[in-house]
A and B are shown apart, each in its own frame.
Chain A
Amino acid sequence: MHPLLEMRGITKTFPGVRALDNVNLTVREGEIHALVGENGAGKSTLMKVLSGVYPHGTYEGEILLDGAPVAFRSIRDSEARGIIIIHQELALVPLLSIAENIFLGNECARGGVISWRETWARTEALLAKVGLDEAPQTPVDRLGVGKQQLVEIAKALSKRVRLLILDEPTAALSEADSEKLLDLLLELRAQGVTSIIISHKLNEVRRVADRVTVLRDGATVATHDARAETLTEDMIVRDMVGRPMENRYPPREERRAGEVLMEVRNWRVAHPEHAERIVVRDVSLRLRAGEVVGIAGLMGAGRTELAMSLFGESWGRKLAGEALIEGRPADISRVDRAIAAGLAYVTEDRKELGLVLEEPITFNVTLANLAGVSRRGVLSRREEARVAERYREAMAIRTPGVHQKVVNLSGGNQQKVVLSKWLFADPRVLILDEPTRGIDVGAKYEIYTIINRLAAEGRGILMISSEMPELLGMCDRIYVMCEGAIVGELSADEASQERIMSLIVKHRRQAA
Chain B
Amino acid sequence: MTSETATGAGAAAGGAVRAYLTGHLREYGLLIALVAIMVFFQILTDGTLLRPVNITNLFLQNSYIIIMALGMLIVIVGGNIDLSVGSVLGFVGALAAVMIVNWQMPVWMTVIACLLTGIVIGAAQGYWVAYWGIPSFIVTLAGMLVFRGASLWLLEGQSIGPFPMEFQRLSTGFVPDLLPWLGEALAALAGVRRVHGLTMALAALASAAILWLGLRARARDRAYGMELEPAAFFALRNAIVIGAILFLSWKLATFRGLPNVLVTMAVLTLIYAFITERTTLGRRIYALGGNRKAAALSGIPTERLTFLTFVNMGFLAALAGLIYAARLNVATPKAGFALELDVIAAVFIGGASMSGGVGRVVGAVVGAFIMGVMNNGMSIMGIGIDYQQMIKGLVLLAAVVFDVYNKRKQA
Which residues of A are found within 8 Å of B227, using beta-carbon distances?
401, 403
- Among listed A53-61, A284-292, A362-370, interface-contacting one: A362-370
Is A26 among interface residues, defined by CB-CB distance under 8 A? no
CB distance from B371 to the nearest CB of A (A): 26
- In the bound complex, do residue A381 and residue B220 qualify as a contact, i.e. CB atoms below 8 Å apart? yes
Which of B225, B283, B294 is A370 in contact with, Cβ under 8 Å? B283
- In the bound complex, do residue B225 and residue A356 qualify as a contact, i.e. CB atoms below 8 Å apart? no
Which of A314, A385, A401 is B297 in contact with, Cβ under 8 Å? A314
Is B164 among interface residues, defined by CB-CB distance under 8 A? no
Which residues of B are found within 8 Å of A378, using beta-carbon distances?
278-280
Which of B220, B301, B357 is A382 in contact with, Cβ under 8 Å? B220
Is B293 among interface residues, defined by CB-CB distance under 8 A? yes
CB distance from B102 to the nearest CB of A (A): 43
Against B, the Cβ 8 Å flags (1 = close, 0 = not) of A341-359 are 0000101000011111111
Which residues of B are found within 8 Å of A367, using beta-carbon distances?
283, 287, 294-295, 298, 300
Using a CB-CB cutoff of 8 Å, which residues 304-334 of chain A contact chain B?
311-312, 314, 334
Is A111 among interface residues, defined by CB-CB distance under 8 A? no
Is A335 among interface residues, defined by CB-CB distance under 8 A? yes
Which residues of A are found within 8 Å of B296, using beta-carbon distances?
314, 335
Is A377 among interface residues, defined by CB-CB distance under 8 A? yes
Given A358-B358, A377-B281, A378-B278, the answer on whether A345 and B225 have CB atoms closer than 8 Å is no
Q: Which residue of B has the minimal Cβ distance to A418?
A: B294
Which residues of A are found within 8 Å of B64, using beta-carbon distances?
none
Q: Which residue of B has the minimal Cβ distance to A401?
A: B225
Which residues of A are found within 8 Å of B291, using beta-carbon distances?
352-353, 355-357
Which of B226, B283, B284, B299 is A335 in contact with, Cβ under 8 Å? B299
Which of B226, B281, B295 is A356 in contact with, Cβ under 8 Å? B295
Is A109 among interface residues, defined by CB-CB distance under 8 A? no
- In the bound complex, do residue A355 and residue B280 qualify as a contact, i.e. CB atoms below 8 Å apart? no
Is B224 among interface residues, defined by CB-CB distance under 8 A? yes
- In the bound complex, do residue A379 and residue B297 qualify as a contact, i.e. CB atoms below 8 Å apart? no
Is B162 among interface residues, defined by CB-CB distance under 8 A? no
CB distance from A86 to the nearest CB of B (A): 24
Is A36 among interface residues, defined by CB-CB distance under 8 A? no
- In the bound complex, do residue A377 and residue B286 qualify as a contact, i.e. CB atoms below 8 Å apart? no
Is A166 among interface residues, defined by CB-CB distance under 8 A? no
Given A356-B291, A356-B357, A359-B290, the answer on whether A379 and B299 have CB atoms closer than 8 Å is no
Which residues of A are found within 8 Å of B294, using beta-carbon distances?
352-356, 367
Using a CB-CB cutoff of 8 Å, which residues 358-410 of chain A contact chain B?
358-359, 363, 367-368, 370-371, 374, 377-379, 381-382, 385-386, 389, 401, 403
Q: Which residue of B has the minimal Cβ distance to A421?
A: B298
Which residues of B are found within 8 Å of A233, using beta-carbon distances?
none
Which of A339, A357, A363, A374 is B279 in contact with, Cβ under 8 Å? A374
Q: How far is the CA of A161 from the CA of B150 in the complex (A)?
A: 63
Q: How far is the CA of A63 from the CA of B13 in the complex (A)?
A: 42
- In the bound complex, do residue A368 and residue B299 qualify as a contact, i.e. CB atoms below 8 Å apart? yes
Which residues of A are found within 8 Å of B297, using beta-carbon distances?
311, 314, 335, 345, 347, 353-354
Q: Which residue of A has the minimal Cβ distance to B225?
A: A401
CB distance from A344 to the nearest CB of B (A): 10
Q: How far is the CA of A382 from the CA of B217 in the complex (A)?
A: 10
Which residues of B are found within 8 Å of A403, using beta-carbon distances?
226-227
Using a CB-CB cutoff of 8 Å, which residues 5-39 of chain B contact chain A?
none
Is A336 among interface residues, defined by CB-CB distance under 8 A? yes
CB distance from A316 to the nearest CB of B (A): 14
- In the bound complex, do residue A359 and residue B298 qualify as a contact, i.e. CB atoms below 8 Å apart? no
Which residues of B are found within 8 Å of A368, using beta-carbon distances?
298-299
Q: How far is the CA of A357 from the CA of B289 in the complex (A)?
A: 11
- In the bound complex, do residue B357 and residue A385 qualify as a contact, i.e. CB atoms below 8 Å apart? no
Which residues of A are found within 8 Å of B226, using beta-carbon distances?
385, 401, 403
Q: How far is the CA of A363 from the CA of B224 in the complex (A)?
A: 15
Residue from the set B224, B287, B297 with the largest chain A CB neighbour count within 10 Å: B297
Which of A311, A336, A385 is B224 in contact with, Cβ under 8 Å? A385
Q: How far is the CA of A381 from the CA of B223 in the complex (A)?
A: 11
Which of B220, B278, B287, B298 is A379 in contact with, Cβ under 8 Å? B278
CB distance from B346 to the nearest CB of A (A): 22
Against B, the Cβ 8 Å flags (1 = close, 0 = not) of A159-176 are 000000000000000000
Which residues of A are found within 8 Å of B281, using beta-carbon distances?
377
Which of A345, A353, A379, A425 is B280 in contact with, Cβ under 8 Å? A379
Q: Which residue of B has the minimal Cβ distance to A349?
A: B293
CB distance from B67 to the nearest CB of A (A): 23
Residue from the set B279, B291, B293, B300 with the largest chain A CB neighbour count within 10 Å: B291
Given A347-B297, A368-B298, A381-B220, the answer on whether A358 and B290 have CB atoms closer than 8 Å is yes
Which residues of A are found within 8 Å of B287, using beta-carbon distances?
356, 359, 363, 367
Which of B220, B280, B286 is A371 in contact with, Cβ under 8 Å? B280
Q: How far is the CA of A377 from the CA of B274 in the complex (A)?
A: 11
Q: How far is the CA of A355 from the CA of B300 in the complex (A)?
A: 13
CB distance from A134 to the nearest CB of B (A): 29
- In the bound complex, do residue B293 and residue A353 qualify as a contact, i.e. CB atoms below 8 Å apart? yes
Which residues of B are found within 8 Å of A345, using beta-carbon distances?
297
- In the bound complex, do residue B358 and residue A370 qualify as a contact, i.e. CB atoms below 8 Å apart? no
Which residues of B are found within 8 Å of A374, using beta-carbon distances?
279-280
Residue from the set B223, B224, B225 with the largest chain A CB neighbour count within 10 Å: B224
Which residues of B are found within 8 Å of A334, using beta-carbon distances?
301
Which residues of B are found within 8 Å of A389, using beta-carbon distances?
224
Which residues of B are found within 8 Å of A357, using beta-carbon distances?
290-291
Which residues of A are found within 8 Å of B300, using beta-carbon distances?
335-336, 367
Q: How far is the CA of A367 from the CA of B291 in the complex (A)?
A: 12
Residue from the set B225, B290, B299 with the largest chain A CB neighbour count within 10 Å: B299
Q: Which residue of B has the minimal Cβ distance to A336?
A: B299
Q: Which residue of A has the minimal Cβ distance to B223?
A: A382
Q: How far is the CA of A337 from the CA of B220 in the complex (A)?
A: 35
Q: Which residue of B has the minimal Cβ distance to A386?
A: B224
CB distance from B215 to the nearest CB of A (A): 15
Q: How far is the CA of A334 from the CA of B296 in the complex (A)?
A: 10
Q: Which residue of A has the minimal Cβ distance to B291?
A: A356
Using a CB-CB cutoff of 8 Å, which residues 179-232 of chain B contact chain A?
220, 223-227
Which residues of B are found within 8 Å of A421, using beta-carbon distances?
298
Q: How far is the CA of A386 from the CA of B284 in the complex (A)?
A: 20
Which residues of A are found within 8 Å of B283, using beta-carbon distances?
363, 367, 370, 379
Q: Which residue of B has the minimal Cβ distance to A338?
A: B299
- In the bound complex, do residue A359 and residue B299 qualify as a contact, i.e. CB atoms below 8 Å apart? no
CB distance from B22 to the nearest CB of A (A): 11
Q: How far is the CA of A358 from the CA of B410 in the complex (A)?
A: 13
Q: How far is the CA of A368 from the CA of B278 in the complex (A)?
A: 17
Residue from the set B226, B278, B280 with the largest chain A CB neighbour count within 10 Å: B280
Q: How far is the CA of A497 from the CA of B233 in the complex (A)?
A: 62
- In the bound complex, do residue B301 and residue A336 qualify as a contact, i.e. CB atoms below 8 Å apart? yes
Using a CB-CB cutoff of 8 Å, which residues 260-307 of chain B contact chain A?
278-281, 283-284, 286-287, 290-291, 293-301
Using a CB-CB cutoff of 8 Å, which residues 181-216 of chain A contact chain B?
none
CB distance from B205 to the nearest CB of A (A): 22
Which residues of A are found within 8 Å of B293, using beta-carbon distances?
352-353
CB distance from B128 to the nearest CB of A (A): 20
Which residues of B are found within 8 Å of A377, using beta-carbon distances?
279-281
Q: Enumerate 5 A-B pairs (CB-CB under 8 Å) in ascending A order.
A: A356-B295, A359-B290, A368-B299, A371-B280, A421-B298
Chain B residues in the interface with A (C-beta under 8 A): 220, 223-227, 278-281, 283-284, 286-287, 290-291, 293-301, 357-358
Chain A residues in the interface with B (C-beta under 8 A): 311-312, 314, 334-336, 338-339, 345, 347, 352-359, 363, 367-368, 370-371, 374, 377-379, 381-382, 385-386, 389, 401, 403, 421, 425
Q: Which 4 A-B pairs have the closest CB atoms?
A: A356-B290, A336-B299, A370-B280, A385-B224
- For the A-B complex with A312-B299, A374-B279, A403-B226 known, give 10 more contacts whose Cβ atoms are closer than 8 Å: A336-B301, A338-B299, A345-B297, A347-B297, A358-B290, A359-B290, A367-B295, A374-B280, A382-B223, A401-B226
